[in-house]
């Protein structure tokens, strides 16, 4: 049970009011943020920043991306994810702010030993939210999580 997974969003448009991706732990399960990389996809320079935050709530999640397992014969992910919501989740706790440039700027955040950011179903703010902090440029990103 569990494993390492990557989720991709390719050439999306950042929004400061809507999640680009929300990852929701499975019942009685947890996952940990391992890495996130963001790159600009526009043709002109513009400053942007994206937040990774803990969130809760939201109604009617929709859309999703495929969680790609890293290991051969690894089980499918137990967590779910959403790229749209009828009413967006709250984003009460920013954990990582990622600055990037719209014209190909790239930023990569990687977990360091002892810096574990865990999202557990039992927590009040259990979801991992990726949402724009500043700017609305085109971007691509991936999030790597380990489920346990």
Q: What tens digit of pLDDT does each residue of 21-57 get?
A: 999 999 999 999 999 999 999 999 999 999 999 999 9
Beta bridge partners of 140: 39
Q: How high is the mean pLDDT of the chain?
A: 94
Q: Who has greater pLDDT, 91 or 47?
A: 47
**The predicted structure's pLDDT at residue 40:** 96
pLDDT at 131 over 90: yes
Return all residues near 16 (Cβ < 8 A) that are at least 6 apart.
131, 132, 133, 134, 135, 136
Alpha helices of 6-141 — where are they, by DSSP H?
none
**The predicted structure's pLDDT at residue 140:** 97
Of all residues in the chain, the percent with pLDDT exceeding 90 is 89
């Amino acid at each position: 049970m569990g494993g390492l997974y990557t989720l991709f969003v390719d050439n999306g448009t950042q929004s400061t009011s809507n999640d680009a991706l929300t990852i929701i732990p499975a019942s009685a399960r947890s996952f940990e943020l391992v890495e996130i990389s963001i790159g600009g996809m526009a043709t002109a320079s513009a400053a942007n920043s994206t937040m990774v935050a803990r969130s809760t709530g939201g109604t009617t999640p929709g859309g999703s991306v495929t969680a790609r397992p890293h290991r051969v014969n690894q089980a499918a992910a137990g967590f779910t994810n959403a790229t749209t919501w009828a009413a967006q989740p709250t984003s009460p706790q920013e954990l990582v702010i990622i600055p990037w440039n719209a014209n190909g700027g790239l930023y990569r955040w990687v977990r360091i030993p002892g810096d574990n950011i865990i999202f557990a179903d039992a927590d009040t703010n259990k979801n991992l939210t990726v949402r724009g902090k500043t700017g609305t440029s085109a971007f691509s990103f991936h999030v790597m999580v380990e489920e346990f």
